[in-house]
């Protein structure tokens, strides 16, 4: 498997950074090289937070990417921001709970899932972010699901259990 | 006749912090859960007619989002 | 120990702790704040000293004080905070006491922003403080390297009674990577004979940077200079990729150098004979190695996250043997592999003599890039 | 009988139309509003030069419709001095947080006051470093948890809260030094009056003026907007008593 | 006006007053203190602003404030005091407001001493502050030159909304020479349109150095860089002696350059074809002129009162075309004509290739000199 | 009847044999002597680390027979903090002039006191900058002529004298803060007692201690040594009242 | 019999500032105009025998130049 | 006349710097190039103060000199310090009021005068320094005496008149 670049983006409170960390931990456990880098700065600035995760079998040069292979967009601004820059044949997973518009780019593989709704249904309203990760893995199996599950369980903050 | 007043909350500024709601002595304010402001907040809105136009909500609003009006009875000037 | 997924600033701080740092004095500033926050939790529980100083001016002078006791001491800050430390840094150098200063660089000048940058190269390498002094400057490019070289920083500081700067950019401080931490070192309880500790059963130790008679100051300057020449001989560190048969030599440090390695790989895949020299000691600079390579390669491309600072040192050392070109991003922008790859291609094909000041050709190119990104 | 509509309150003239970046419920906004109202009432907007600090209010200049400069962290009083000395007829004020004013800027504020600089200082005491994510400030309460005092401020190691108004009132150059709070309507009204008097002090050349405002930081205190106001009333006021610490005689007679 | 016998620091201060400086903010430090003392007497009587600040940190931020009003403002200090100004200097540069900073350099690093030095070259020229900025740096070598170039400093500051440093050493500040002061200039009462003065009948003016979005910061950095390139084109100043047929080119600035002129005269009398290039703008450096001369001369000798700082710039520009040698005194020592003359003789006879780092040959020579003077 | 010879006074142990560079009659020397005597009496010489300032006392380390460091101008309290935190069992003191402590070093002294650093500060208030040749200090008296206030300190432009002891006594971290004078034998004896108490404060971990000493600068005051002492008594004491500004309860009971 | 004392002034330290002279209650001190110390000062010296050894001179001396002695009468212990 | 370098040295209070300034003013009035540079630093350090004056018809390069043409030594330490470094055939004028030893170097022109004594005799005890200058000019007439007299009168501080 060659290098895969993933951007996860959403509102401050949606756990985008955490979702990326779960993937990073899982990749490490799975013996892969990985980098995780957030958009940083005073949270209070509000707006969207995002992180970039790069997973690879070789040592990773750039922790940043211009055209990601995969984007998890947890809100509309994120869809607007990233839809156009996803790599050809890349993957876009978008959270349709927070908007209702179509994905215009055709040559990318896009999936709309009502992550918030699903999360509430299974009684874990805070885990919309992980629903998205799951959906992504289904489309692009860069990691075994159970490895990701395991790292989620190990790293989820007490208060969210 | 009781003095009555009303307020206008500007969506551009309101962040739905709720301080006006706590402060209003007439308890006529709530957050509008139906609506989102362009910035993604549920803004404050009036629910009843019993606002006195006291302006306390405006005094506590951190974002100067509230304009307060009051209706005042007045004699018509004779010709 | 096994690898852990570590956040840059936390890893740097823990590495310092493992290396036996006994005191951290600092002041919060993005993007280095987590460094201080981590220390505020760990050091007290280890019974070591932590003080959130009232300012960076105070922090560096606390460091100065602790350094005079011979204990391992450090501070960490970011660009504007580092500027406030310049007087204290010059005092530390002039008093010849060991200390480690970490600069997690951000965009400047002035308040600028909190995004990653390498715009403090001059300040850290040439001495932003007054007078003739020569800090050792280490520029790691991954969390693991940072861990390793922060330990080294303390060893070098003690070995030469020198000031050691570790410079990284905001990316490094904020990113997470798998890395391995060394075991916790024993703290040696013997005090260096020059340190202050109370003049019991010995003559008093005086630590000062004042030499009111210029003759004495000159002797001191000479001592510092000769020590520096020693350091230049002994302590140069750099990493190389694919330089053996390289025709285009890319030179970059820290994140810029790391990103460049992706671009070099891409170039090789495209059949371009590119190689990378990534200095880890910016001071002492890998001068001899660069001179050797300059005799072999056809062209040099310097990549930085500033307006061309290390570039000056490269130009001085290459002495016009081969054309040197420059590509930089500024103000908190990080160049991406495709940009640098594009530059490598361009340089590989360029047969021109190269401008007197490589920045002259670069400015219009960068303007295009910026326009393109808008 | 007809009825006429009376405008009781509207957004001040001295404000721009920009949505602030402050967190919901943060009383930085209230402090901003009071300054704007006072400058409106005194008709000073076009004469005023503001000095923004480094802190959450770093972008204050976006929200006030007047000339503004952005100071280095803690140096606003020096910058204001530099301006006021060459433009003595302009109204110059600084707006500073507690890290800015009481920590890194301690020397600058003390000496501006000692020199009796004719500037007005609005000092936002929220007991924490907001912008950088909630580190300890010199004003942090004993035992209070922050990101740089994770077990709570240990006074043995990290020292005690500094009461700036009390300290600055010791300086002969100070003409007006008071502490107010922004935690409820009554106190907000008092705060506005104080801000008015601070600018009156400057107008009359009575020396240095400072209004310390107890202010909330819901985000870093990890409280709701309203809980944060209660925190001020219950926890901060006891440590930082509200009151007048120095009032120039000429001001006492003043009716505003 | 007729010549008067003027003390350096007093003349500099009066020159600034004649040039229309409306505010001086400073803090006492030897050997620049008379500058402040003079201002404390003169400015109040002219109804202009003088404040003895509580520190250099405060002084430079007062300067920053006044600079934002578009009025002519300055400070003067010496090495340690200048180090404390680095953050403020970076802010001034980042905000693009005009200001003049005079550094009467003394021996360092640290507290060092109060004797004349040129050890702050890096700090003043390369930017001792954080981030990418480019101060103009003037280095006069006589009281008259200082008077002339301090006036120029204000004009350049206004012309480019730039930071201008004037660097002299303790000798210059303390010596008396006959010199002529210009007449007192009218102070223009029009305010620059970018300055803060109260937003009456116009939109507010905002002066800041924060560009939170790296894209904006990069554009700002680029603007500063391009302005600098303009300055490099337009503002280079230098003096030359006997370079026409020179075989040995001596390069030195300030007092070192001035002393060298005596040595060059002596050398000429002894039949040695020596010439002197004395840069007056250290930044922008007379690069083109040096390149031309490097094509003509046989050897270059750089003379400084530091450990070889301008030397690096010379090496970068000469690109190995001819051997470059170095002679420096440090720590407050001023080289005397006979020393430099001796060096010129030596260099004139030396046919060797010259070391990679000219300082390597110099260190043992200096050690001999020091031993001899003991 | 035989008679025995009693040694009433001799040069303290804690002094070296070096002739000081101070001007004749400068009471910096008296302050030095008192510190040395106290350290002798407490047997602390071998345990003490002194921090010299930048000022006329820059060479203090030549005169005390103990470990010493030389701080940057105004930063002695920060340097002392850095030392004391890693060597808590050593006695650490700073010796600072009024320019050093009250001007450039204002932030460092205030925060060392606020943190309750267990260090002792000997503060020499001579109302002027001695080392640099007599410029105005924050403590310069109104109307007093200096080389940077040639017409006398104009309080309107240059501000008012700062009374550091009064100010620092406001900080909860301070355990002992007093002002004494060196202008005659009686006051010198009181000063010595205060210095003793400052070091006792540190020994007992009672927090920050400072002794402000009114001291002479015959050279820059342009007075004879004796006239300078009279100047202290007549001109300085009224502006800088002698007294105890903060005394930790534990100390009151202490007999020294 | 009156207690008597005397002092020794160390030339190495004395700067002839005269403070001891002003302070001495017995007025037994003067500056020795005949002599110069190695540093070029006229040192203080005793003129009369009426020194009580009170030590005040030493208390005021900024240069710790004075050593003070006192002679004390005393009974011879019986065998 | 070619360049003449003069060092004037003595105790702090002896007016060495002023004497040099008088020479400097006179030289300027006389249309010559001149530089005056003091030993600077906090007076209080005590010890000796000295200044270097260079007079020339051409622009002056170095304001400092290793081997001066002329030395006015107002006290013994100054004689000790400078006797050996005076240029061959240089001039040494020493103030014999403050010491009594011989000048050892033979090939220089040395003159011992009791400047203090003379000054007191003519009732201008503060002008010992100028007596020395006068003596120097007699031996090395680099400037007309009246020009120096004039500049003395113009620049002497009120309190010394
Ligand atoms: C020299 C320097 N040091 C540190 C910082 C980082 N910094 C920015 S704001 C701030 C403190 C903010 O706290 P405060 O002044 O209380 O204002 P608030 O954000 O709480 O309103 C710090 C430490 C900086 N920008 N510059
Ligand atoms: C950063 C810096 N600024 C200025 C100076 C110059 N300087 C040395 S001592 C001093 C003030 C001395 O006055 P004070 O602290 O009152 O001590 P005193 O000499 O009167 O004993 C100054 C301004 C310096 N050495 N360093
Ligand atoms: S972080 Fe705190 S101070 Fe800053 S805006 Fe948010 S609530 Fe206000
Ligand atoms: S200058 Fe003043 S303070 Fe300094 S030593 Fe002389 S008398 Fe004392
Ligand atoms: S007080 Fe001391 S220094 Fe002064 S004259 Fe007397 S002995 Fe000498
Ligand atoms: S001991 Fe007392 S009496 Fe004797 S000289 Fe000293 S002061 Fe005078």
Contact F132, E40 (CB under 8 A): no
Sheet containing E23-26: order of strands: E49-52, E23-26, E73-77, E99-105, E163-169, E136-138, E281-283
pLDDT classification of H160: cutoffs 50, 70, 90? low
pLDDT classification of A136: cutoffs 50, 70, 90? very high
> Cα(G26) to centroid of ligand 6, in Å?
6
**What percent of chain F is modeled with pLDDT above 90?**
96
Model pLDDT for residues B23-59, shown as the tens digit of each residue = 999 999 999 999 888 888 899 999 988 999 999 999 9
Q: What is the mean pLDDT of residues F13-28?
A: 96
| Selection from C334, C344, C365, C176 nearest residue C265 by Cα | C344
Q: What is the mean pLDDT of residues C29-35?
A: 96
pLDDT one digit per residue (tens) for chain E, 374 residues: 589 999 999 999 999 999 999 999 999 999 999 999 999 999 999 999 999 999 999 999 999 999 999 999 999 999 999 999 999 999 999 999 999 999 999 999 999 999 999 999 999 999 799 999 999 999 999 999 999 999 999 999 999 999 999 999 999 999 999 999 999 999 988 899 999 999 999 999 999 999 999 999 999 999 999 999 999 999 999 999 999 999 999 999 999 999 999 999 999 999 999 999 999 999 999 999 999 999 999 999 999 999 999 999 999 999 999 999 999 999 999 999 999 999 999 999 999 888 899 999 999 999 999 999 87
Q: Does H36 touch chain E (CB under 8 A)?
A: yes
Of the listed ligands, the closest to the CA of D140 is 1
Q: pLDDT at residue D224 above 80?
A: yes
Model pLDDT for residues E318-372, shown as the tens digit of each residue = 999 999 999 999 999 999 999 999 999 999 999 988 889 999 999 999 999 999 9
Q: pLDDT at residue F113 above 60?
A: yes
> Cα(H77) to centroid of ligand 5, in Å?
24
Mark out the alpha helices in H2-144 (DSSP H runs).
16-29, 76-82, 115-121, 128-139
Residue E134 CA to residue E227 CA, distance in Å, equals: 9
Residue numbers in D near A41 (CB within 8 A)? none
Model pLDDT for residues A100-113, shown as the tens digit of each residue = 788 999 899 999 99
pLDDT classification of A77: cutoffs 50, 70, 90? confident
Q: Is E248 helix (H, G, I), strand (E, B) or coil?
A: strand
| Selection from C366, D22, F1 nearest residue G72 by Cα | F1
Q: pLDDT at residue A45 above 60?
A: no
pLDDT classification of H99: cutoffs 50, 70, 90? confident
| Partner-chain contact D23 A42, CB within 8 Å | no
| DSSP 3-state percent helix, strand, coil across chain H (nearest 5) | 45, 25, 35
Q: What is the pLDDT of residue E373?
A: 84
> Cα(D21) to centroid of ligand 3, in Å?
9
| Selection from D11, D96, D17 nearest residue D63 by Cα | D17
Q: pLDDT at residue C70 above 50?
A: yes
**What percent of chain C is modeled with pLDDT above 90?**
96
Q: pLDDT at residue H43 above 50?
A: no
Stretch (H or E) spanning F120: strand F120-125
Residue numbers in H near F133 (CB within 8 A)? 42-43
Q: Name the residue of F53, F57, F97 to mutate for ligand 2: max ligand atoms within 8 A of Cβ.
A: F97
> Could you tell me the two tokens for F197?
């108490």
Contact E253, E239 (CB under 8 A): no
> Cα(F168) to centroid of ligand 3, in Å?
30
Residue G32 CA to residue G16 CA, distance in Å, equals: 9
What are φ and ψ of residue C118, in 5° steps? -125, 25
Q: What is the pLDDT of residue A43?
A: 41
Q: What is the mean pLDDT of residues F8-27?
A: 96
Residue F81 CA to residue D157 CA, distance in Å, equals: 11
| Partner-chain contact F163 D156, CB within 8 Å | no
pLDDT classification of A44: cutoffs 50, 70, 90? very low
A102 Cβ contact partners less than 8 Å away, ≥ 6 residues apart: none
Model pLDDT for residues C79-122, shown as the tens digit of each residue = 999 999 999 999 999 999 999 999 999 999 999 999 999 999 99
CA dihedral C280, C284, C287, C288 (to 10 degrees): -100
**Nearest atom in ligand 1 to D217's CA:** 20
Q: Does F10 touch chain G (CB under 8 A)?
A: yes
DSSP per-residue letters across E132-197: S---EEE---SHHHHHHHHHHHHHHHHHHT-EEEEEEEHHHHH-EEEE-PPPPPPPP-PPPTTS-S
E331-356 b/e (C-beta count within 10 Å ≥ 16 → b): bbbbbbbebbbbbbbebbebeeebee
Q: pLDDT at residue G79 above 60?
A: no
Q: What is the pLDDT of residue A11?
A: 84
Q: pLDDT at residue A99 above 90?
A: no
> E19: distance to nearest CA of chain H, Å?
25
| Selection from A2, A1, A57 nearest residue A34 by Cα | A57
Q: Does A25 touch chain C (CB under 8 A)?
A: yes
D199 lines ligand 1 (CB under 6 A): no
Residue numbers in A near C117 (CB within 8 A)? none
Q: pLDDT at residue H42 above 90?
A: no
Q: What is the pLDDT of residue D215?
A: 98
Sheet containing G66-74: order of strands: F2-9, G66-74, G4-9
pLDDT classification of H44: cutoffs 50, 70, 90? very low
Residue E32 CA to residue E78 CA, distance in Å, equals: 6
Q: pLDDT at residue H46 above 80?
A: no
> Could you tell me the two tokens for D164?
């700036």
D100 lines ligand 1 (CB under 6 A): yes
CB atoms within 10 A of CB H122: 9
Q: What is the pLDDT of residue G1?
A: 47
| Partner-chain contact F219 H46, CB within 8 Å | no
Q: What ipTM was estimated for this complex?
A: 0.97
| Partner-chain contact C31 A40, CB within 8 Å | yes
Q: What is the mean pLDDT of residues C138-163?
A: 98
Q: What is the pLDDT of residue F254?
A: 85
Contact H14, H147 (CB under 8 A): no
| Selection from F103, F47, F49, F48 nearest residue F75 by Cα | F103
* Chain mean pLDDT for chain G: 90
What are φ and ψ of residue H103, in 5° steps? -85, 125
E contact residues 77-106, partner F, Cβ 8 Å cutoff: 80
Q: Does D90 touch chain C (CB under 8 A)?
A: no
């Amino acid at each position: 498997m060659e290098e895969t670049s993933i951007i996860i983006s959403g509102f401050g409170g949606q756990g985008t950074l955490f979702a990326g960390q779960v993937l990073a931990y899982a990749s490490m456990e799975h013996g892969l090289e990985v980098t995780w880098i957030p958009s940083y700065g005073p949270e209070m600035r509000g707006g969207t937070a995002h992180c970039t995760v790069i997973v690879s079998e070789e040592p990773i040069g750039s922790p940043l990417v211009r055209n990601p292979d995969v984007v998890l967009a947890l809100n509309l601004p994120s869809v607007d921001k990233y839809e156009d820059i996803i790599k050809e044949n890349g993957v876009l997973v978008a959270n349709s709970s927070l908007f209702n518009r179509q994905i215009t780019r055709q040559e990318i593989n896009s999936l709309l899932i009502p992550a918030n709704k699903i999360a509430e249904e299974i009684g874990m309203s805070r885990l919309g972010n992980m629903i998205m990760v799951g959906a992504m893995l289904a489309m692009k199996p860069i990691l075994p699901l159970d490895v990701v599950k395991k790292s989620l369980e190990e790293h989820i903050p007490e208060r969210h259990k | 006749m009781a003095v009555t007043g009303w307020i206008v909350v500007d969506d551009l500024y309101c962040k739905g912090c709720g301080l006006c709601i706590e402060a209003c002595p007439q308890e006529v304010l709530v957050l509008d859960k139906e609506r989102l402001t362009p910035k993604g907040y549920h803004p404050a809105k009036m629910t009843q007619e019993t606002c006195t136009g006291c302006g306390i909500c405006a005094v506590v609003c951190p974002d100067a989002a509230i304009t307060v009006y009051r209706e005042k009875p007045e004699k018509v000037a004779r010709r | 120990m096994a690898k852990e997924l570590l956040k840059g600033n936390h890893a740097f701080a823990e590495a310092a702790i493992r290396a036996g740092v006994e005191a951290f004095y600092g002041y919060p500033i993005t993007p280095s704040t987590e460094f201080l926050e981590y220390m505020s939790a760990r050091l007290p529980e280890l019974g070591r000293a932590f003080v959130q100083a009232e300012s960076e001016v105070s922090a560096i002078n606390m460091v100065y004080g602790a350094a005079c006791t011979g204990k391992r001491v450090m501070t960490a800050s970011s660009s504007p905070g580092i500027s406030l430390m310049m007087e204290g840094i010059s005092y530390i150098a002039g008093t010849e006491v060991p200390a480690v200063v970490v600069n997690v660089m951000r965009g400047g000048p002035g308040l600028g922003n909190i995004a990653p940058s390498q715009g403090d190269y001059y300040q850290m390498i040439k001495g932003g403080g007054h007078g003739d002094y020569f800090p050792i400057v280490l520029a790691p490019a991954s969390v693991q390297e940072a861990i390793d070289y922060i330990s080294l920083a303390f060893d070098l500081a003690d070995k030469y009674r020198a000031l050691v700067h570790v410079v990284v950019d905001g990316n490094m401080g904020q990113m997470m990577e798998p890395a391995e931490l060394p075991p916790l070192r024993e703290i040696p309880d013997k005090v260096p004979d020059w340190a202050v500790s109370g003049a019991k059963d010995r003559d008093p130790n005086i630590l000062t940077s004042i030499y009111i008679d210029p003759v004495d100051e000159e002797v001191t300057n000479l001592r510092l200079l000769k020590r520096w020449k020693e350091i230049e001989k002994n302590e140069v560190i750099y990493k190389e990729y694919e330089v053996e048969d390289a025709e285009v030599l890319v030179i970059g440090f820290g994140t810029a150098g790391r990103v460049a390695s992706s671009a070099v790989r891409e170039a090789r895949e495209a059949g371009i004979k590119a190689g990378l020299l990534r200095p880890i000691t910016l001071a002492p600079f890998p001068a001899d190695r660069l001179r050797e390579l300059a005799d072999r390669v056809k062209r040099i491309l310097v990549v930085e996250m500033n307006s061309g600072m290390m570039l000056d040192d490269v130009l001085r050392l290459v002495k016009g043997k081969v054309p040197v070109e420059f590509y930089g991003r500024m103000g908190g922008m990080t160049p991406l592999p495709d940009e640098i790859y594009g530059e490598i291609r361009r340089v590989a094909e360029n047969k021109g003599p190269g401008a007197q000041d490589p920045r002259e050709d670069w400015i219009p190119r960068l303007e295009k890039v910026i326009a393109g990104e808008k | 009988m007809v009825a006429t509509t009376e405008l009781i309150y509207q957004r001040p003239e001295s404000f721009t139309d920009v949505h602030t970046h402050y967190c919901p419920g943060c009383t930085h906004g209230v402090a901003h509003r009071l300054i704007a109202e006072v400058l409106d009432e005194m008709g000073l907007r076009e004469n005023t030069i503001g000095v923004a600090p480094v802190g959450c209010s770093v972008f204050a200049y976006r929200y006030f419709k007047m000339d503004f400069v952005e100071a280095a962290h803690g140096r606003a009083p020096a910058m204001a001095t530099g301006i006021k000395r060459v433009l003595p007829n302009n109204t110059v004020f600084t707006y500073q947080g507690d890290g800015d004013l009481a920590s890194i800027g301690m020397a600058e504020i003390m000496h501006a006051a000692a020199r009796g600089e004719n500037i007005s200082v609005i000092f936002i005491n929220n007991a924490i470093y907001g912008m950088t994510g909630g580190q300890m400030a010199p004003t942090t309460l004993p035992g209070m948890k922050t990101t740089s005092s994770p077990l709570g401020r240990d006074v043995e190691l990290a020292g005690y809260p500094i009461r700036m108004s009390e300290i600055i009132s010791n300086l002969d150059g100070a003409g007006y030094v008071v502490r107010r709070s922004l935690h409820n309507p009554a106190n907000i009204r008092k705060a506005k009056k104080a801000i008015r008097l601070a600018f009156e002090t400057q107008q009359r050349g009575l020396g240095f003026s400072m209004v310390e405002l107890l202010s909330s930081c819901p985000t870093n205190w990890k409280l709701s907007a309203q809980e944060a106001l209660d925190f001020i009333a219950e926890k901060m006021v006891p440590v930082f008593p509200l009151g007048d610490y120095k009032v120039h005689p000429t001001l006492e007679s003043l009716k505003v």
